[in-house]
Chains A and B, each alone.
Chain A
Amino acid sequence: MGGVPVATECPIGILCEDLVDMRKLSRQKKEALYGILLLLPSVVVIGATAVYPLLKGISFSFFKLSGFSYDGPFVGFANYARVISSSLFMESFWNNAIWAFGTLAGQILVGLITALLLNRAFRGRSVVRGMILFPYIIPGIIAVIVWRWMLHDQYGVINLVLKRWIGLEESIHWLATPTLAMVSLILVGIWKFFPFVTICFLARLQVIPPKLYDAAKVDGASAWKEFWHVTLPQLREVFFVVVLLRGIFMYLKFDIPWLLTAGGPGTSTYTLPIMSYVEAFHQMQRGTSAAIGCVLFATLTVVALVYFAFEQEE
């Protein structure tokens, strides 16, 4: 860390070195103190609003909390045993995996294609980039409302277009049929979050050294070979980060699944975040809800550790 150069106008050589050392030491201490003071407000606030509640949440998972109270008897791992043995948990786990994997794969595919398109020079590129980013910045509830309107059995444009222009006989009940509900949910998830992947890939594409492509051209590589051997390897790191972070964020997503299908029809789109919320505020089993939260938290911790290890390597 830089700082003010230490003055060394000391007449006696040996003494001077000692003096410089002492001043250096005290300066280092002063620097450290300064740094810690600057961080103090954030330490207090993050401690109170995030770290303390997190620890409290973990402790809740070992107590039997029913009704509105946050006091109850200690029950050890009973909440975990109850959660993991319930069939709803396993079903939610698989739905969750399908939702997270489906939206992640879709986002990466659409994100990659759009990033490659936007990496070409054309007029109005920044306007196009702005419009493509739009789904990402609107609230989840807006995304859900507009899609529920478009997927509506009777009045939705999707059914109307299929009927009037393609000759479909019966309306498709998108959100009331188990498999289609999951498909619709995943499509809405992709629509909402792909722009983020676009921006990540685009940022990386724009700093690929042009000389790599020149070399490929000299070798007479086709466009496909160029993409496969030059572009794709350059995207490896950003690809890894996107898979990690988007994957875990999709896995822990609550608002879109809850607002679009609320886990239904039946339990066909029930996910772990939905289960955690319903246990806490509908079933009034807050210990169980906390146990589900801890299972999700463990998943996040594993991902974070992988991310840190990866970051270290960079």
Chain B
Amino acid sequence: MTRYKVRKTVRTSLLWAGVMFFVAVSIFPLIEAFLSSLKPPAQLFSRFPHIFIPSSVTLLHYRELLMETKFLTYYFNTTFVTLVTLALVIPISALAAYGLTRFAFPGRDLYRRLIIFTYMLPPILLFLPLHAVLTTLGLVNSRAGLVFAYTSFCLPFAIWLLRAFFMGIPVSLEEAAMVDGATRLSAFFRIVLPQTVSGVVAVSVFVCVVCWNEYLYALVLTSSDQMRTLPVGLATFIRVYTIDWGKVMASVVLTSVPLVVLYVFVQEHLLKGFAAGAVKG
């Protein structure tokens, strides 16, 4: 082999070693959780003869999780709050993003900055006053209250992302349609919206992920087990003196499944969202 070839082989193997290392670091904890959720209790705690691989498989932990805890209630609450917030946020943010990118009016730049600023606000700055506002409205410990709180960060976030997508669509397309006699509104629905489908999908995915994962608002705004969301419900599983690790691992797997599925199908859209500036979290 020539020197060049040797160097190239060394470089390629180093690249692959590096890639494999970081892939392992990223996904190993979840694989470990999955394998643990299938192990009978004895194997979970003695971990013999293998540390990782289960020598027999059981669905006991899943059965216990679904039968003995309120896991399905948490699941329903999280799904419900996520979807309602999404349905509320997408139309309002689409209108606002269109207004911000296509019309000139006084205060536009100021409003744009207000959006970025509210979008940067983390829950830790708003949990207390939101609790106060929702107490006044009688919405504490309700799903509607959670939707209210989630909208506070999802809406600015969605406007900001959609704005980036709208900016990428040439104005000349609409102008052409309007010269042909279309009104502004029909130009928006017939010309602009179809162009932004992938943008709307990307934003929806991000909104779903942040709502699904939210913890602090759900913690302070719900008080009964009946209203808890997955992150808060799961947190109670590890806040007890003797943690039932098998059951906890089963809950980790079931909570991650929708995210994995969503993720596999819309990875490209998600990356577009990142490119448009999705930095929440």
Q: Do A and B actually bind?
A: yes
By a beta-carbon cutoff of 8 Å, the part of chain A in contact with chain B is 1-5, 28, 31-39, 41-43, 45-46, 49-54, 56-57, 60, 70, 110, 113-114, 117-118, 120, 122, 126, 128-150, 154-155, 157, 160-161, 164, 191, 193, 195-196, 199-200, 203, 245, 248-249, 252-255, 259, 273, 276-277, 280-281, 286, 289-290, 293, 296-297, 300, 303-304, 307-308
Can you identify 21 A-B contacts, CB atoms within 8 angstroms? Answer: A39-B111, A42-B92, A46-B152, A118-B19, A129-B271, A132-B22, A134-B30, A137-B270, A141-B231, A142-B252, A145-B237, A149-B245, A150-B29, A150-B32, A191-B26, A195-B26, A249-B122, A252-B125, A254-B123, A259-B215, A286-B128
- Which residues on the B side are within 8 Å of A117 (C-beta)? 15, 18-19, 22
Closest to B153 in A: A50
In angstroms, how far is the closest chain A Cβ from the Cβ of B31?
10
Give bound CA distance, A193 to B280, whole Å.
Answer: 11
Do the beta carbons of A160 and B47 come within 8 Å of each other? Answer: yes
Residue B93 at the chain A interface, CB threshold 8 Å: yes
Residue B263 at the chain A interface, CB threshold 8 Å: yes
Do the beta carbons of A300 and B125 come within 8 Å of each other? Answer: yes
In angstroms, how far is the closest chain A Cβ from the Cβ of B206?
9
Give bound CA distance, A45 to B157, whole Å.
Answer: 13
In angstroms, how far is the closest chain A Cβ from the Cβ of B221?
11
Q: From the candidates B44, B212, B252, name the one contacting A145 in the complex (CB within 8 A).
A: B252
In angstroms, how far is the closest chain B Cβ from the Cβ of A229?
20
- Which residues on the B side are within 8 Å of A113 (C-beta)? 18, 22
Give bound CA distance, A281 to B270, whole Å.
Answer: 36
- Which residues on the B side are within 8 Å of A129 (C-beta)? 271
- Which residues on the B side are within 8 Å of A164 (C-beta)? 51
Closest to A56 in B: B129
Q: From the candidates B16, B52, B95, B231, name the one contacting A139 in the complex (CB within 8 A).
A: B231
Give bound CA distance, A122 to B26, whole Å.
Answer: 19
Interface size class of B (residues with CB under 8 A): 35 or more
Give bound CA distance, A146 to B255, whole Å.
Answer: 13
Tell whether A139 pairs with B215 under 8 Å between CB atoms, given A45-B155, A50-B156, A277-B127: yes
Give bound CA distance, A60 to B52, whole Å.
Answer: 51
Q: From the candidates B108, B118, B148, B281, name the one contacting A46 in the complex (CB within 8 A).
A: B118
Give bound CA distance, A280 to B128, whole Å.
Answer: 7
Q: From the candidates A53, A137, A146, A157, name the one contacting B259 in the complex (CB within 8 A).
A: A137
Do the beta carbons of B255 and A1 come within 8 Å of each other? Answer: no
Q: Which of B30-59 contact A (CB under 8 A)?
A: 30, 32-33, 36, 44-45, 47, 51-52
A interface, by DSSP: helix, strand, loop or mixed?
Answer: helix
Give bound CA distance, A23 to B115, whole Å.
Answer: 32
Tell whether A54 pairs with B121 under 8 Å between CB atoms, given A28-B104, A32-B103, A139-B230: yes
Residue B186 at the chain A interface, CB threshold 8 Å: no
Do the beta carbons of A132 and B26 come within 8 Å of each other? Answer: yes
Q: Which of B218-273 contact A (CB under 8 A)?
A: 220, 230-231, 234-235, 237-238, 245, 248-249, 252, 255-256, 259, 263-264, 267, 270-271
Give bound CA distance, A54 to B269, whole Å.
Answer: 32
- Which residues on the A side are within 8 Å of B124 (C-beta)? 252-254, 273, 276-277, 293, 296
Of the candidate stretches B65-73, B172-180, B192-200, the one touching chain A is B172-180
Do the beta carbons of B175 and A49 come within 8 Å of each other? Answer: no
Do the beta carbons of B212 and A139 come within 8 Å of each other? Answer: yes
Do the beta carbons of A157 and B52 come within 8 Å of each other? Answer: yes
Tell whether A277 pairs with B216 under 8 Å between CB atoms, given A50-B152, A53-B133, A155-B245: yes
Residue B87 at the chain A interface, CB threshold 8 Å: no
Do the beta carbons of B118 and A51 come within 8 Å of each other? Answer: yes
Closest to A293 in B: B125
In addition to A39-B99, A276-B128, 17 A-B residue pairs with Cβ atoms within 8 Å of each other are A32-B106, A35-B99, A38-B95, A54-B126, A122-B15, A130-B264, A135-B26, A140-B213, A146-B252, A160-B47, A160-B51, A195-B26, A196-B281, A200-B274, A248-B120, A252-B124, A273-B124
Do the beta carbons of A53 and B129 come within 8 Å of each other? Answer: yes
Tell whether A41 pairs with B106 under 8 Å between CB atoms, given A203-B274, A203-B275: no
Tell whether A300 pairs with B120 under 8 Å between CB atoms, given A139-B212, A142-B256: yes
Give bound CA distance, A286 to B245, whole Å.
Answer: 35
Give bound CA distance, A304 to B30, whole Å.
Answer: 35
- Which residues on the B side are within 8 Å of A5 (C-beta)? 179
Tell whether A296 pairs with B128 under 8 Å between CB atoms, given A157-B51, A203-B275: no
Residue B10 at the chain A interface, CB threshold 8 Å: no
Give bound CA distance, A252 to B235, whole Å.
Answer: 20
Give bound CA distance, A113 to B25, whole Å.
Answer: 13
- Which residues on the A side are within 8 Å of B231 (C-beta)? 139-141, 255
Residue B159 at the chain A interface, CB threshold 8 Å: yes
Closest to B188 in A: A38
Do the beta carbons of B33 and A2 come within 8 Å of each other? Answer: no
Do the beta carbons of B32 and A149 come within 8 Å of each other? Answer: yes
Do the beta carbons of A140 and B128 come within 8 Å of each other? Answer: no
Do the beta carbons of A149 and B249 come within 8 Å of each other? Answer: yes
Tell whether A49 pairs with B215 under 8 Å between CB atoms, given A117-B15, A199-B271, A304-B116: no
